[in-house]
Structure 1
Amino acid sequence: MQPDTTAPARPALARPAPDRPASSQPVPGLPELHPRFDDVHEIAVLRGGGIGDLVFALPAIEALAEAYPAARLTLLGSPVHRALLAGRTSGVDEVDVLPVVPGVGDASGTEVDAVATEEFVARHRARRYDLAVQVHGGGRNSNPFLHRLGARHTIGTRTPDAIPLERTIPYVYYQHEVLRALEVVALAGASSSGRPVLSPTRAERGRGAALVGGGPAGTSAGGDGRPVVAIHPGASDPRRRWSADRFGELAARLAHHGVRVVVVGEGDDVALADRVTTVAHERRPSRASLVSSLAGQLDLSGLVGVLASVDAFVGNDSGPRHVAEAVGTATSAVFWFGNVINAGALGRTSHRVAMAFSTSCPVCGVDITQVGWTAERCEHDASVVDGVGLDEVWENTRELLDGVLAGRGTSLPVQEARS
């Protein structure tokens, strides 16, 4: 997808001024806020990657929008970021899609286009940004790219081998991505105590409710009154995928207890979803009608609607899990333990995590705890989370669903209650 070639004129913004003092420290463990920059009217935030990458950056972006209410904020991101934010209220005024730049804007199977990159940089230099924010990794590639935009002030993360920005924090891989981004924007005097939030539109809720079982817009139960659980068996990194057969077994147990299950995903997830439904139907043929797949049938807006309309989500460490949390849905997830630090839900009342504690590749035995910029990964894609047992995920999911339904004054159908 090509980026927009022209930028709309900056509108008069009327964001509310932050109601917390500039010296506040709303998130324990984060440093004191730096002074805010003066006369900031144009802000660029560099954050490429997938759905989850944007979700993690949302609290920091919203904090910047609150701290600089008169500024226009442009996200330099990816096509899925533009799609996810389209028609949705957020701190972002515009999304411009990054060109293919190694380590910054990546697109599988797409060659680097030097001309497109130069045009992109020239267009954004013409914006005369007052503040450019890098929340895209350790800065080895992203910091030089950010400097090319010519902003008056620059902030971001930095590994020891990355060039500096005006204000930086150390990039240490094992830090939660939400807190890392908040620590970055604190360098510009912006703070937030919020979690990532995506507000589904009324149309998304209505479509989602219809897709998961015909319930009225704004409700979570299907039209027949059954609770509904979404299962997503995929993950962008195959090593983070729990067995599709186990997801199928889990779906069968849920159906046995009267729960409707919808499987979601796209691309490679479609085959995984087919396997989930096949296993579930084989294990509980009398409940086959309760387990169905929407994989490959939803655009991003449709996925948001579905995840906002179910009672709980079960899946791997993936973009859909992070979206489910952001729209306010309870989640039960399978994680490699190292990624819990970076991407796991911070609370446990509405979110449960089953962790795999493997430290080496199951094929070649290489240490997998040294990740990111510190070490190259091996070539094997074998799952590192299949050590998590079915019973653990089932208990997490059952307890979570019981709590969600109890909070709504209901429970699993009596005639199908667990034995």
Structure 2
Amino acid sequence: MERIGQGGDRFEGVREIAVLRGGGLGDLMFAMPAIEALAAAYPDARVTLLGTPSAEALLDGRTTAVHAFEELPVHPGVRDSGEGAPDLEDFERRLRGRFDLAVQLHGGGRNSNPFLLRLGAPHTVGTATEDAEVLERWVRYVYYQHEVLRGLEVAALAGAEPVTLDPRVTVTDAERRDVRARFGVERTLVAMHPGATDPRRRWSPDRFAAVAVARLAAGDDVVLVGDDSDRPAADAIVDAVRDTVDADAAARLHDVVGTLPLSELPAVLGAADVMVGDDSGPRHLAVAVGTRTVGVFWFGNVINAGPLDRGRHRVHMSFVTRCPVCGIDVTQVGWTAERCEHDPSYVDQVTPDLVLADVEDLLRTR
């Protein structure tokens, strides 16, 4: 596969590579194809991911592209918070001079580029906004670009060609069987994640509940996944389902929101026949473990985060261009955009019947 963007020659003598990618689960998934490209381009090098503890919990033993993990310190624009995070000076003292190549896959570079340069790597590549310090090789950061392709364009600066366009996270067949046995799945398992970091990207619980009720009525099992922040939505879905279906169907609704360790999330998603979710980390992880997905997106986010194929993944878009409360233009996004204080759902234009139709089609054509 040809390189994405202008690219550059491979660097000589690279034995240690650092990749900077903090943020959430979705951010990590978007970076994985670039990391795989770097690992393939430099097969004798060790790749160290500079990220959050969740990255190691999720990826350890599930990828051959990352060989070591280093937890990021709290630093503006790199990591906002983290109990027990390493001290910045200690982090720099331990790692400075270790890496031959440092790769910035963490945003526009205003904060992440100076942070990366502290490591003292002889070679650096990454993105840069117009007000960011640039690295040895860099490409302009323009907000509306698919995040996977952005990462691959950065990897190309180091001479790396893509080996995959989708993130890849390994789940074994044995893990899939164990999950289905744990839930007592006899037919089909549908996973749902009713959350997103930005509340404006969240499809309302009553819509998820309508999909769950229909699939339970069809004889499927449904599992709700998410973290503690998704608890209110999960409770609303569970209550709505129990008010609608009989006891036998209600018993096939499995709620593991807030109780499932992150290290086990890939297996649960990998065991599902299809996953329904917002534009969120678990939906992107479902793509990585090979599960078919139906996603509910604000149309602007499809540019940056939508799945790339439609045989396995379906996308439903809402075309909201102004805040439903105050009318401000919401298409101007990114670090310079004005942000109103309102958080209504931008995606409730999407109706459950549309999502259900694609769930049924994916199950029929799997």
Smaller-chain TM-score range? over 0.9
Q: Would you say the 8 A contact 1:314–1:331 is kept in 2? A: yes
Tell me the residue number matched to 2:114: 144
Q: Would you say the 8 A contact 2:63–2:168 is kept in 1? A: no
Tell me the residue number matched to 1:118: 89
Partners of 1:106 and 1:402 lie apart in 2 by 44
SS at match of 1:354: strand
Matched, 1:211 2:182: yes
SS at match of 1:146: helix
Partners of 1:131 and 1:83 lie apart in 2 by 24
How many angstroms does 1:96 deviate by?
0.6
TM-score normalized by the length of structure 1: 0.83
Instruction: Select the residue among 47, 71, 75 that pairs with 1:97.
Output: 71
Pairwise mapping of residues 4-403 of structure 1 onto structure 2 (< 5 A)?
Answer: 25=2, 30-107=4-81, 116-127=87-98, 129-194=99-164, 195-201=166-172, 204-213=175-184, 222=185, 224=186, 226-285=187-246, 287-403=249-365
How many angstroms does 1:309 deviate by?
0.6
How many angstroms does 1:151 deviate by?
0.8
SS at match of 1:74: strand
Partners of 2:16 and 2:263 lie apart in 1 by 28
How many angstroms does 1:202 deviate by?
5.7
Tell me how large the CA RMSD over aligned residues is: 1.8
5+ residue gaps, structure 2:
none
The letter for the 2-side match of 1:248 is A
Which string of whole-angstrom CA distances, capped at 9 and with x for unpartnered residues, describes residues 134-171 of structure 1?
Answer: 01000111111111111101100011111111111111
The letter for the 2-side match of 1:59 is P
Moved more, 343-352 or 288-297: 288-297
Partners of 1:212 and 1:56 lie apart in 2 by 30
SS at match of 1:283: coil
Q: Would you say the 8 A contact 2:29–2:288 is kept in 1? A: yes
Q: Which has the higher contact order (CA 8 A, sep 6+)?
A: 2
Partners of 2:131 and 2:65 lie apart in 1 by 32
Which string of whole-angstrom CA distances, capped at 9 and with x for unpartnered residues, describes residues 20-78 of structure 1?
Answer: xxxx616xxx3243111111111111110111111111111111111111111111111
Q: Would you say the 8 A contact 1:336–1:385 is kept in 2? A: yes
The alpha-carbon distance between structure 1 residues 201 and 97, as it changes in their structure 2 partners (threshold 3 A), is farther
How many angstroms does 1:314 deviate by?
0.4
SS at match of 2:87: helix
Which string of whole-angstrom CA distances, capped at 9 and with x for unpartnered residues, describes residues 100-131 of structure 1?
Answer: 111011227x69x8x8111111211141x211
Partners of 1:366 and 1:311 lie apart in 2 by 39
Q: Would you say the 8 A contact 1:206–1:305 is kept in 2? A: no
Partners of 1:207 and 1:302 lie apart in 2 by 11
Which string of whole-angstrom CA distances, capped at 9 and with x for unpartnered residues, describes residues 269-324 of structure 1?
Answer: 12211211221222223632222312122101221111111110001111110111
The letter for the 2-side match of 1:152 is P
5+ residue gaps, structure 1:
1-23, 214-221, 405-419
Larger radius of gyration: 1
SS at match of 2:294: strand
Q: Would you say the 8 A contact 1:308–1:328 is kept in 2? A: yes
TM-score normalized by the length of structure 2: 0.95
